[in-house]
Chain A
Amino acid sequence: MVINPYMAPLLEIRNLSFAYEGSTALVFDRLNVVVQEGEFVLVKGPSGSGKSTLLRLICRLNKPQGGSILFQGNDTTTIAPAKLRSAVSYVAQIPQMIDASVEENLLLPFSFAINAGKTRPGTEELREMLSKFYLGDVRPDQSAMKLSIGQKQRLAIMRALLQKPLLLLLDEPTSALDQESAAMVFSIMERLNTEEHKTLITVTHIDYKPETVRPLTYTLAHQTLHLHESDH
C-alpha cells in the first residue's frame, strides 16, 4: 500500500524501544505516539526519565534499538539526515553559539548545503525578528558569546526557525533560565503555535500551563507516554 504523505500525520512513533549503550535497562519500551500538524505537544516527566532522549531520537541524534519513527509518512531512516534535521529542528537545553556575531549565528543554517536554496533574511528583517523574540536591545553585529543564557536560548529558537522547519523540538527550553526569561520563552512558544501555526514538541520537568494554547500533554513514565487526564 502506498501511503499518501499528505494524509499521513506529521510525526508518528511506532513501538519505539531504546536503551543507552552498555545498559540493558530500557528507557522506552514500545512507545507509540502520533503528532498532527499544528499541535502543541508538551511532554512532562521527572529528570532522567528520557524526555530529552525522545526528542533526540526523533531527529536521529540517537539511534533506537527497535521500532520506527515516521515523518510525513516516511521512515526517518530513509530521509537524508541533513534533510530531516532542516525540517525537524531540535533546540538543545543549553543553547550553543559559535564564537561570532549575533547575525553570523542567526545565518549559520544558511551556510549549510541543505539550506542553500532558502531565502536568507536581511539585517533589517533580523532586527525586526529580534524584537519579536524580546531581543530588541541586541545588535546583530555584537558578539553572541556575551549574551545572557536567556538571550542565547531565545536566539537559538529564532535561529532554528529561520530555516523554516515543519516541526520544532524544544528540549527543556527554560530549565536554565530565571522566571522572567522563562516567561518570555513560553510566550514565544505559544505565539509560534497560535500565530505562525508551528508544530511544537516541548519537553519540560516544570509545571507549565500554557495561557493561550490548549496543549496535548503527555507524561513520560514506565518507559512510555501517557496522555494527560485533562486532555482526554
Chain B
Amino acid sequence: MSQIINISSSQLLLALVFILIAQASSFIYHLGLNRDITIGTIRTFAQLFLMGYVLTFILKSSNPFLVMSVFMVMVVSAMFIIKGRVKEKQIPYIIPTFLTMLVSYLATALFVSGLVIGITPWWEPRYFIPAGGMVIGNSMSALAISLERMFRDMRQQKELVEMKLSLGANYREASLDIFRNAVTAGMIPSINAMMGVGLVFIPGMMSGQILAGTDPLIAIRYQIVVMLMLVGSTAVSSVIVMLFVRRRCFGSGEEVLLTPR
C-alpha cells in the first residue's frame, strides 16, 4: 500500500475555493444562502477539528466510561437536531424518542462491534464510536422524517381517523395507514442507499478507508456490514418510536388529541 498523503493547512484552505463558488452562486442569483454557507463552513471546520482532537484522545484511552460518555453526547445531540426539525408542540415525543434511540443504537453498535466484527473489548473506541456515529446519524434523519410525517398526516387526516374510530376501530386500526406511511417515509432513504451503493455513489466510510490505504476488498466488507446495520437500526428505532408516539397522539378515550394548527 502506498503512503497516505497528508493534507497541509494551506491545501485545506485551497479547498475553500468550492465555498467561494457556492457563495458567488448565492450572491448572483439572490438565493439568500450566504449567511448559512458561512456558518456551515465555520461549523464544519470547528466541529470536525474538535471531533478529531476528541477522537485522538479517546482512541488512545482505554476507559469504557469515556467511550460511553461520547456515545451519550452523540445521542443527545441527535435528539436536539430532531427537536429542531420536528416542530410539534402538542404531543410530547422527546422522551420516548430519546430512550428508544439510546437503547436501539447501543444494541446495534454492540452487535456490530462485538459479534459481527468481533472486537474485544466490545467498546473498543476505534470501532464502537464510528459504528455508533453512523447508526445515530442515519437513523436520526429517518426519525425526523417519520415523526414529521406522522404528526402532519394525523392532523390532515383527523376526520378520516375519527370516522374509523366511530365505526368501532381502536386507535391502532384507525391510524394504521398513517403509521405505515410514516415508517416507510423514514426508511426509504436507507433502502435507496442500498440500491445505489457502489453504482451511484461510493459511501463515505469505504472511501475514507480506501483513501487511508485499506485494501478495497476489506473496505467493502466493512461497508456491507454498515449498510445492513443502518437499515436494521433505522427500521427498529423508527417502528418503536412511532408505536410510542402514535399512542401519545390519542387520549385515554382513544380520541385524537392533535388539533389543526
**Contact among B163, B168, B173 with A96 in the assembled complex (CB-CB below 8 Å):** B163
Q: Are B159 and A85 in contact (CB under 8 A)?
A: no
Residues of B within 8 A of A90 (CB): 166
Given contacts A92-B159, A96-B160, contact A60 B166 (CB under 8 A): no
Whether A63 contacts B251 by the Cβ 8 Å rule is: yes
Residues A96 and B255 in contact, CB atoms below 8 Å apart: no
Contact between A113 and B170, CB atoms less than 8 A apart:
yes
In the bound complex, residues from chain B placing their C-beta under 8 Å from that of A85 are 165-169
Chain B: which residue is nearest A156 at the CB level? B163
> Is B259 close to A, CB under 8 A?
yes
A206 at interface, CB cutoff 8 A: no
Q: Cβ of B168 and Cβ of A115 under 8 Å apart?
A: yes
Is A86 touching B167 in the complex (CB atoms < 8 A)?
A: yes
**Contact partners of A115 in chain B: CB under 8 A:** 167-168
- B253 engages A92 (CB within 8 Å): no
Q: How many A-B residue pairs have CB under 8 A?
A: 76
Asked whether any CB of chain A lies closer than 8 Å to the CB of B153, the reply is no
Distance in Å from the Cβ of B47 to the closest Cβ of chain A?
40
**Bound CA–CA A112/B172 (angstroms):** 10
- Given the complex, which residues of B lie within 8 Å of A16, measured CB to CB? none
When distances are taken between beta carbons in the complex, the residues of chain A under 8 Å from B259 are: 21
> Is there an interface contact between A109 and B168, defined as CB atoms closer than 8 Å?
yes
Say yes or no: A92 contacts B162, CB within 8 Å: yes
Asked whether any CB of chain A lies closer than 8 Å to the CB of B69, the reply is no
In the bound complex, do residue A94 and residue B159 qualify as a contact, i.e. CB atoms below 8 Å apart? Answer: yes
From 11 to 43 in chain A, residues with beta carbon under 8 angstroms from any chain B beta carbon are 21
B252 within 8 A of A: yes
| A:82-120 near B, CB below 8 Å | 82-83, 85-86, 89-92, 94, 96, 98, 108-109, 111-115
Is B159 a contact of A63 with CB atoms below 8 Å? no
Interface flag for A53 (CB, 8 Å): no
Number of residues in B with C-beta < 8 Å to the partner?
20
Q: Are B168 and A82 in contact (CB under 8 A)?
A: yes
One of A82, A91, A92, A160 near B170 (C-beta < 8 A): A82
Nearest-Cβ distance from residue B188 to partner chain A, whole angstroms: 21
Q: A81-B170, A82-B169, A94-B159 are in contact. Are A112 and B252 (CB under 8 A)?
A: no
Q: Is A59 an interface residue (CB 8 A)?
A: yes
Residues of B within 8 A of A44 (CB): none
Mark out the residues of chain B between 236 and 254 whose CB falls within 8 Å of any chain A CB in the assembled complex: 251-254
Evaluate contact between A92 and B252: CB separation under 8 angstroms: no
In the complex, the answer to whether A160 meets B159 with C-beta atoms within 8 Å is no
B85 at interface by CB-CB < 8 Å: no
Q: A60-B255, A77-B253, A82-B254 are in contact. Are A96 and B159 (CB under 8 A)?
A: yes
Binding site for A on B (CB under 8 A): 159-160, 162-171, 173, 251-256, 259
Give 6 closest A-B pairs by Cβ, nearest first: A86-B168, A60-B253, A96-B163, A81-B254, A109-B167, A90-B166
A residues sitting closer than 8 Å to B (CB atoms) are 21, 59-63, 77, 81-83, 85-86, 89-92, 94, 96, 98, 108-109, 111-115, 156, 159-160, 163
A-B contact pairs, 19 of them (CB 8 A): A59-B166, A60-B254, A61-B162, A61-B256, A63-B252, A77-B253, A81-B171, A81-B254, A81-B255, A82-B169, A85-B166, A89-B167, A108-B164, A109-B168, A112-B173, A115-B167, A156-B163, A160-B167, A163-B167
